[in-house]
Structure 1
Amino acid sequence: MRIPRNVPPRRGYALLMCLLVIAVTSSMVLTLFNMLSLQKAETSARAKLLLADSLADAAVEHALAKLIAQRDYEGSETIALDKSRIYRLQVARDDKQGLLFVTGEAVVQGAAGEQPTQRSLSRTFTLEQLDKRRAAVGLR
């Protein structure tokens, strides 16, 4: 014989709990995916910026190497390492004040549709500083 209960049966309670766990887990996975994609984009942008800074510095050093090899060098030159990485060096002189103005510019192109990253670096040298560098490598 059955004893009647006053408590109604809990039909679907386990299914409801499973759906709740799936919803919370899905939300956590989507948040993690979003966070990782943002982190990847930031890392990529930082890498392009670091590369552009390095290329601008390399352009200045390239210009200094040209000045060490040829003291009266003046002008500009553009060097394309590949389609996505280009740097430009420029040397201007002020012989009255004995100054050299060296500028390095770099452009790093990202993926299609992205804006290129551009950096510029300028340095001013005196002719005496140039002569010291030339003497350090054995040139006069």
Structure 2
Amino acid sequence: MTNNSIFDWHKFHVVGCRLYESGSEENLRTAINRFYYGSFCQARDYLIHNNIFYDEDLKNDLCSGKGVVHEATRLIFLKEKRLINHRQGKKIHDWLVDLRDYRNRVDYNSSTDFNLEFMTRQSKIYSEKIFNTLENL
């Protein structure tokens, strides 16, 4: 790997797909995590590389490298006029919200009182939609 290379976040999606195929609880939980982070990082990088920040505060949050970057990314997709006009920004926002919710549930909740198979399948679908939508913007 050279210093100028950029990581391909879609590889996290691919790892998620492999984990999903195994079907074990620990792999399904990890798959959801990979689907979220691959999609989130791809969305964040899209905004940064295209200089789409909505306002200065969200730009600072987006580029901070701190926890606020997750919310900033979602809010920019929700509020930015260039993305709203394409009607894709809100969709990406909504998919990221759901992916984040699923990730939080499986990463922080020891309980198994949720449909893990459904959440993993939906995470895979939302992740695919985010990658495809960003590619076509």
Task: Determine if the TM-score, normalized by the shorter chain, exceeds 0.5.
Answer: no
TM-score, normalised with respect to structure 1: 0.29
Q: Identify the structure with bigger relative contact order (alpha carbons < 8 Å, sequence gap 6+).
A: 2
Pick the structure with more helix per residue. Answer: 2
Which structure: larger Rg? 1
Higher strand share: 1
